[in-house]
Amino acid sequence: MAMIAVGSDHAGFLLKEDVKKFLQEKGFPVRDFGTFDQERVDYTDYGLVVAEAVAKGECEKGILFCGTGVGMSITANKVKGIRAVVCSEPCSAKFARAHNDTNILALGGRIVGTELAKMIVEVWLLTHFEGGRHAVRVEKITRFENGQQAAEDVPAQNRPA
């Protein structure tokens, strides 16, 4: 199984620890980038190192934890090659993988409980990218990220009037 990177700030620490244990029990190798206690830290520091590990291929996927998941998701999405999503229920996690090929999941320690988080994580990890028409859309995102496509390149029939 591929390595899963995890990271949290102080608000997501306890949920990270519970999910990390769950992942290990399921046989997933986990690399923990911290934080390692509940002392106040900046979520950005941990979101960036996990996102970079995933972007560089050191880890196949990443799971980030903060108070809401939003800060970690925003941070991770600043790293080229990352498609991070914050989810609070399994259905969004399923479609985030199947349709958007997300490679980082962000969860809110103040939003979801441990059992719900385990359900979300399991669905997200076990769902495969469908490709097809979804691959075309993900490729457009990648081209834009790489400076190869601009918003004005959108076909005229798809632009607002």
Catalytic residue at 10? no
Closest CA to 103 of 146, 46, 60, 56: 60
Q: What is the pTM of this model?
A: 0.92
Read off the DSSP letter of residue 128.
P
pLDDT digits (tens, 9 = 90+) for 85-144: 999 999 999 999 999 999 999 999 999 999 999 999 999 999 999 888 998 888 988 888
Active-site position among 10, 59, 66, 87: 66
Active-site position among 10, 59, 87, 99: 99
Percent of the chain predicted with pLDDT > 90: 80
Catalytic residue at 134? no
